[in-house]
Amino acid sequence: MAGIVHGKSLMVTGAGGFIGSHLVERLVREGGLVTAFLHYNSRASMGNLVHLSPKVMQSIKVVHGDVQDYGSVLAAMDGCEVVFHLAALIGIPYSYAAPRSYVATNVGGTLNVLEAARSLGGVRVVHTSTSEVYGTALTVPIDEGHPLQAQSPYSASKMAADKLAESYHLSFGLPVVTVRPFNTYGPRQSGRAVIPTIIGQLLGGNGDVCLGSLAPMRDFNYVCDTVDAFVLAGISDDAIGRVVNAGSGKSISIGDLAYKIISLLGTGGKVVQGNDRRRPKGSEVMNLVCDNSLAADLLCWHPQTSLADGLQRTIRFFGDHPEALRNPMEYGV
């Protein structure tokens, strides 16, 4: 993949996020001219960009703004050839409490990115979806033709954003590719996600791991592999107008995942369920496993990292950065 975006002017929204920061790092390494669009706050927080080397940081242009503000999006995107749109509210539990904020950011923000891209003469947009839009699998593995089922306000907001992206391609000919990652994990992931939650409880010395439902099956894909899919989607003409899954093609239950991490850390302990951590009845997505054959065909993309190797790298990161983990004794959305 070396140098495939060399000299291209690129923008990443959500650049301070988990996947976004890894994508910025990769694009710089591939020779891209990168604008990192960060959510403005009064502290001028850089998010996960603080983990990038000084050399990488010197190579990027940082813009603080808000995808909900069309003017700031338009100004930041001016001169870009490709925008990787990752900015979103992602926490599923919080979407039950604050659904309007998910619509404002995930739907309204996506509309602003698409409209800016159209106004600037057809900037390519790599739009980020989520496997949550499929809901509980009706057929396994899940391909891109699987029906969409909104089992949370979060997934509903992402479905709406996906359809906006589709409409801008079909209505205006905008070159849009939608990447639909399954459960991405790795260094820098939010402490509220399930793998950092498990690691944090174990490193915190609590003994046992308290989670919500242990039965759901998930397809975990290491962040560097997910980033590979984004980069390839940014250059593949065959992918324009398409939705492309990015997942490992393998699944594991949340309970078995927790015991796997316990084994890797060698801490011992058992896994228990906490009712306050369960999703509402009817909202839990029970089975997600990716059919990644279209990504292989269109992007020549194949995940490279085993779950065991990816978990080891993730454990090392959080061991070195315990401040990135939540208090293991507390739970919040």
pLDDT digits (tens, 9 = 90+) for 206-251: 678 999 889 999 999 999 999 999 999 999 999 999 999 999 999 9
pLDDT averaged over every residue in the chain: 94
| Catalytic member of 154, 168, 185, 222 | 154
Question: Who's near 42: CB < 8 A, 6+ residues apart?
Answer: none
Question: Who's near 196: CB < 8 A, 6+ residues apart?
Answer: 189, 190, 314, 318, 324, 325, 326
**How far is the C-alpha of 217 from the C-alpha of 288, rounded, in Å?**
6
**How far is the C-alpha of 202 from the C-alpha of 204, rounded, in Å?**
5
Instruction: Note the Cα 2 to chain centre separation in Å.
Output: 23
250-263 burial: b if 16+ Cβ within 10 Å, else e: bbbbbbebbbebbe
CATH of the domain spanning 9-185+221-246 = 3.40.50.720
| Whole-number percent of the chain with pLDDT over 70 | 95
The answer to whether residue 156 scores a pLDDT higher than 80 is yes
The tokens describing 267, both together, are 């801490």
Give bridge partners of residue 84 from the DSSP assignment: 12, 126
Q: In the prediction, which pLDDT does 329 show?
A: 53
Assess whether 154 carries a catalytic annotation. yes
Q: In the prediction, which pLDDT does 42 show?
A: 85
- pTM, to two decimals: 0.95
